Chain A
């Protein structure tokens, strides 16, 4: 009972996203780095640990380490979404099976954070499911470790049609800091969410896109 009173006292914390743009608190300067007018491209390029900087910044390779900030790059306040190839034919209620294939624990912690009252993803009709049999979306995070990828493919096969694969985090997309290749080698990815780790708002954005919203 006391819990409930406390809840009422605390008021509403939930983000206004997606009806409104994310607030500053939700996404402060943690986005993709963008070059200043007088940015030192050459130095930034040679110092970037993943080779994300060429003429522009590759969101999928960037590990958001902040090193290029030493060379007049500024962190943006936007949520990036690289690419959407396929969406689900229905959008009201989607069930997500989370598959961690070797993350550093930050990516899956951010996925877990979708549950908290600040994001409350149930209000948008998104739910986690403990079994791939009920899942419409396979959310893959982490650097593909061979032993786990086997389990991932089994989970994918067990999912009913229609299904989409969402990959989140630079590890899954490009191998990030750990390697040269991401999950693409093993499975076709439909929605790509960059970040290291992608903040919950970015995950929300990606999952909504996967359901065609």
Chain B
């Protein structure tokens, strides 16, 4: 688990500048908390999360800052010139499956600029949790983005707790890997859908359904809502069910990937599509799959002590296109299956829950399927006083905006799906 006190990790601007001189420090989050500004930085090499309260530190050169402070307009092309067609795509389209919109500038063939238009799903989760008890706040946080619910609720719980029973930690990790599996399968399914590979869609969506059904049996919920409680987990897991299912899923998956990767039609569509270079990743502070597809090892599991005893390996590719991101996903699927097998074989026999004393201002981080999610929460006597959530999609939308420029119009679905972004997530 990665969590800690905010105050204990607070540093001054000078110290930050010192660190940034010889190391790469990524901007992770920015929050307005009362009249104070809170900046969160991550040093991925040393695995440290630092907090500063500055406005001055080199922020104009950080393109991510605009997204974090909610100024998506900053990414819009100002004077596109004549002959440029402007399209507003959304909010109700079956193509996106979600209420969200894109502002697209195009010559008809090349995409000049794409900006997501947020606000169609704003449920204001961060505001609504304030004043609630933590046991109840967790239900809102799970429903911030249902398909990444385990990641968010894990991060929230780790932020609250100062250690939880071992078995609970294992079960949370299993649920997280299952979530990674179905999201990765789903992204591949969407990519095949964009390539109109009708049969492949069916096969991969069947894999998604298999995992959801496994979730339903294990956690009494297809998306594992209600699994986490502050201090542990609500349910025990039946190891045998996972074991059997996992073998079948792995076998299916290997066969499918074999056929998929030998399909030239499919590979041609994602090869060299929406390329993000290593420099772009560093400049845009991208995370998760987007960073790893471009050869930057950013995965918060690398500095999580829990994963040092688990057969976890960080997966990287170098090319930075949709194909590279897909290959990272495929390798992570294999790794996730391996991790789950290890976790169920070593499942410790401890209690499921422990009492937590919820007080203080702490943060928690978890690597979700699309990138790392960051949760900071201030709690007093078990009641949430303030909360800040930095969803992973928000960060990678900036990477997507950059990567999709200059691509041809028909590549748009391949570009967006390969990042695995969600409006519910960034629009919280």
Docked pose: A143 CA to B121 CA in angstroms: 8
Q: A142-B99, A147-B119 are in contact. Are A6 and B226 (CB under 8 A)?
A: no
Quick check: B136 and A151 within 8 Å, CB to CB?
Answer: no
Confirm or deny: B139 has a beta carbon within 8 angstroms of a beta carbon on chain A.
yes
Instruction: Among A67, A103, A116, point to the contact of B99 (Cβ < 8 A).
Output: A103
Contact between B212 and A178, CB atoms less than 8 A apart:
no
Interface pair B226/A108, CB less than 8 Å apart: no
Query: Is there a chain B Cβ closer than 8 Å to A44's Cβ?
Result: no
Complex Cα–Cα for A63 and B143 (A): 10
Q: Does the CB pair B425–A105 fall under 8 Å? A: yes
Contact, CB under 8 Å: A29 / B147 = no
A178 B99 Cβ-Cβ under 8 A: no
Task: Please report the C-alpha to C-alpha distance between residue A75 and residue B93 in the assembled complex, in whole angstroms.
Answer: 35
For B149, give the chain A residue with the smallest CB separation.
Answer: A106
Cα(A70)–Cα(B229), bound, Å = 12
| A191, chain B: closest CB distance, angstroms | 19
B128 touching A178, Cβ below 8 Å? yes
Does B203 lie at the interface of the complex (its beta carbon under 8 Å from any beta carbon of A)? yes
Cross-chain contact of A29 among B135, B205, B220 (Cβ < 8 A): B220
Contacts of B128 in A (CB 8 A): 178
Question: Shortest CB–CB separation between residue A132 and chain B, in angstroms?
Answer: 8
Q: How many residues of B contact A (CB 8 A)?
A: 56
- Set of chain A residues within 8 Å of B135, measured between Cβ atoms: 67
Q: Among the listed B121, B201, B235, which residue makes an inter-chain contact with A102, where contact means beta carbons less than 8 Å apart? A: B121
Residue of B nearest to A2 (CB): B259
What 1/0 mask marks residues of chain B from 375 to 396 whose CB sits below 8 Å from any chain A CB?
A: 0000000000000000000000
Decide if B212 touches A148 in the complex (CB within 8 Å). Answer: no
- In the assembly, what is the distance between CA of A118 and CA of B210, in Å? 9
Q: Which residues of A contact B220 (CB under 8 A)?
A: 28-30, 66, 69, 75
Chain A interfacial residues counted at CB < 8 A = 60
CB distance from B95 to the nearest CB of A (A): 7
Chain A contacts for B327, CB-based, 8 A? none
* 9-residue interface stretch from A53-61, A81-89, A93-101: A93-101
**How long is the Cα–Cα vector from A13 to B213 in the complex, in angstroms?**
13
- Is the beta-carbon distance between B143 and A178 smaller than 8 angstroms? yes
Q: Determine the distance from Cα of A13 to Cα of B252 in the docked complex, in whole angstroms.
A: 14
A110 cross-chain contacts in B, Cβ below 8 A? 222
Q: Are B123 and A145 in contact (CB under 8 A)?
A: yes
Within A1-44, the residues touching B (CB, 8 Å) are: 2-4, 6-7, 10, 13, 25-26, 28-30
Q: Is the Cβ of A105 less than 8 Å from the Cβ of B200?
A: no
A6 to B259, CA, bound (A): 10
A108 to B223, CA, bound (A): 13
**B371 → chain A closest CB, angstroms:** 15
Instruction: Select B223's contact among A75, A97, A197, beta carbons within 8 Å.
Output: A197
User: A113 contacts the other chain (Cβ, under 8 Å)?
Assistant: yes
A-B pairs with CB below 8 Å: how many? 172
Set of chain A residues within 8 Å of B97, measured between Cβ atoms: 98, 100, 108-109, 111-112
Judged by a CB distance under 8 angstroms, whether B347 is at the interface is: no
Q: Does B104 contact A (CB under 8 A)?
A: no
* Chain A neighbourhood of B226, CB < 8 A: 64-67
Residue B39 lies at the interface, judged by CB distance under 8 Å to chain A? no
Residues in chain B near residue A105, CB distance under 8 A: 98, 145-147, 422-425
Question: Nearest Cβ in chain A — how far from B334, in angstroms?
Answer: 19
A178 to B145, CA, bound (A): 13
A128 at the interface (CB under 8 A from B): yes
Q: What chain B residues lie within 8 Å of A197 (beta carbons)?
A: 146, 222-223
Asked if A143 contacts B123 (CB within 8 A), the reply is yes
CB-CB under 8 A from B136, the residues of chain A are: 49
In this assembly, does B216 line the interface, its C-beta being within 8 Å of a C-beta of chain A?
A: yes
**Which chain B residue lies CB-closest to A144?**
B123
> Contact at A65–B202, with CB atoms within 8 Å?
no
A199 CA to B119 CA in the complex, in Å? 27
Q: Mark B199-225, 1 if CB is under 8 A from A, else 0.
A: 111110110110011001100111101
Contact with A along B120-140 (1 / 0, CB 8 A): 111101001000000110011
Provide a sorted-by-A list of 5 A–B residue pairs whose CB atoms are within 8 angstroms.
A6-B255, A98-B94, A105-B422, A142-B99, A148-B120
Interface set of B (CB-CB < 8 Å, partner A): 91-95, 97-99, 119-123, 125, 128, 135-136, 139-140, 143-147, 149, 186, 197, 199-203, 205-206, 208-209, 212-213, 216-217, 220-223, 225-226, 234-235, 255-256, 259, 262, 422-425
Beyond the given A6-B199, A116-B208, could you list 18 further A-B residue pairs with CB under 8 A, ordered by the A residue number?
A4-B199, A28-B217, A30-B216, A49-B139, A66-B221, A67-B135, A100-B97, A100-B121, A102-B120, A104-B424, A116-B202, A116-B206, A117-B205, A129-B94, A132-B92, A147-B119, A148-B92, A177-B143
User: A residues touching B (Cβ–Cβ < 8 Å)?
Assistant: 2-4, 6-7, 10, 13, 25-26, 28-30, 49, 63-67, 69-70, 75, 97-113, 115-118, 128-130, 132, 142-143, 145, 147-148, 151-152, 155, 176-178, 196-197, 199
Closest 3 CB pairs of A and B: A106-B146, A116-B205, A66-B226
